[in-house]
């Protein structure tokens, strides 16, 4: 895969999302919510894409928004669409690579192709490639066709607190594991490592006295944290050298991770084979031989005990 983008100091720099158009239920944005019109290009391995896969599943939008899963191994040309276990060729446009969608939308595009990518089959262009935007669109704008329109992951009375939690979790945990894993100097790694585990300690204390991160029900904030937690012990702990503690060593975070995994439909969105093969097989700058670790053994279905919190 392409080498990660870094700052002059050697810190991992996540590129800004390039396409930020919006789908609205009434079409006022220029992109009207319609069943069958939009298609998600995703990678099961990618935590950012996993957010959108989850909301599509939880809202019951499988028959409304199409989905194509990329090959978990990323080569020099980026995410590819091939036939294999859990991934397929692109049935919508016949793109060989996700980058084809970016160049079809903007021939001058010079950045990386990232997942998730939300494609409009009507205008034949990318609508949006920012996961936080796509999550909100799927969660709110397609309720006319959703099987679970009542599900509200971003309730109005909790939005300020959700936004605050999201910002901290993104910086220190979601992106923090990447900042540690892709650090180009010891000092940069140390700063990311310390911030990551300080935040995990804070989250552990928070979840020791409350069942969910915000309010008394699962919200967007919980899912945004969870996509990192579910990958942590299998890849981030070893592959990204985030090895002070495992998630299974945190009683509250581990119970929280198991509870959300056991929400109906969620386990179907977790492909640990894709997750491990992607990280260990694609990041050759970190793992030159591409050998995929076989462990650890993790029982996400063990009783979580969170109903007592």
Among residues 31, 38, 41, 46, which one is catalytic?
46
Distance CA 287, CA 151 (A): 41
- Beta-carbon contacts of 109 under 8 Å, excluding residues fewer than 6 positions away, are 18, 102, 103
CA torsion, points 76, 40, 121, 87, in degrees to nearest 10? Answer: 60
Question: What is the DSSP-derived secondary structure letter of residue 232?
Answer: I
Phi, psi of 234 (to 5 degrees): -80, -30
Reduced to 3 states, what is the DSSP secondary structure of residue 41? strand
Distance CA 20, CA 246 (A): 35
Among residues 31, 97, 102, 178, which one is catalytic?
178
What separation, in Å, do the N-terminal and C-terminal C-alpha atoms of the chain show? 43
Indicate if 178 belongs to the active site: yes
288, 149, 138: which is closest to 223 by C-alpha? 138
Q: At what angle do helices 159-169 and 220-231 cross, to 10 degrees?
A: 20
With vertex at residue 166, the alpha carbon angle to CA 164 and CA 167, rounded to the nearest 5 degrees, is 65
Q: Which positions are annotated as active-site residues?
A: 46, 178
């Amino acid at each position: 895969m392409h080498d990660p983008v870094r700052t002059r100091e050697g810190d991992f720099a996540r590129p800004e999302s390039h396409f930020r158009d919006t789908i609205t239920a009434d079409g006022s944005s220029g992109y009207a919510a319609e069943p069958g019109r939009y298609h998600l290009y995703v990678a099961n391995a990618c935590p950012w894409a996993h957010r959108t896969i989850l909301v599509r599943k939880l809202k019951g939008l499988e028959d409304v928004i199409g989905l194509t899963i990329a090959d978990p191994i990323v080569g020099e040309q980026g995410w590819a669409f091939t036939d294999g276990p859990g991934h397929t060729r692109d049935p919508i446009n016949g793109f060989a690579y996700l980058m084809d969608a970016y160049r079809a939308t903007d021939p001058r595009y010079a950045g990386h192709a990232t997942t998730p990518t939300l494609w409009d089959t009507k205008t034949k262009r990318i609508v949006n490639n920012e996961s936080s935007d796509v999550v909100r669109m799927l969660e709110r704008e397609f309720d006319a066709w959703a099987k679970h329109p009542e599900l509200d992951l971003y309730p109005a009375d909790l939005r300020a607190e959700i936004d605050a939690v999201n910002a901290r979790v993104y910086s220190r945990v979601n992106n923090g594991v990447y900042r540690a894993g892709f650090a180009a100097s010891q000092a940069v790694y140390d700063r990311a490592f310390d911030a990551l585990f300080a935040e995990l300690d804070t989250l552990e204390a928070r979840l020791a006295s409350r069942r969910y991160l915000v309010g008394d029900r699962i919200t967007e904030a919980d899912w945004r944290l969870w996509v990192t937690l579910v990958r942590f012990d299998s890849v981030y702990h070893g592959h990204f050298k985030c090895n002070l503690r495992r998630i299974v060593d945190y009683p509250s975070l581990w119970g929280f991770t198991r509870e959300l995994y056991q929400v109906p439909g969620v386990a179907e969105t977790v492909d640990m084979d894709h997750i491990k093969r992607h990280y260990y097989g694609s990041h050759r700058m970190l793992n030159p031989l591409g050998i995929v670790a076989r462990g650890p053994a993790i029982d996400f279905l063990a009783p979580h005990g969170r109903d007592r919190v």
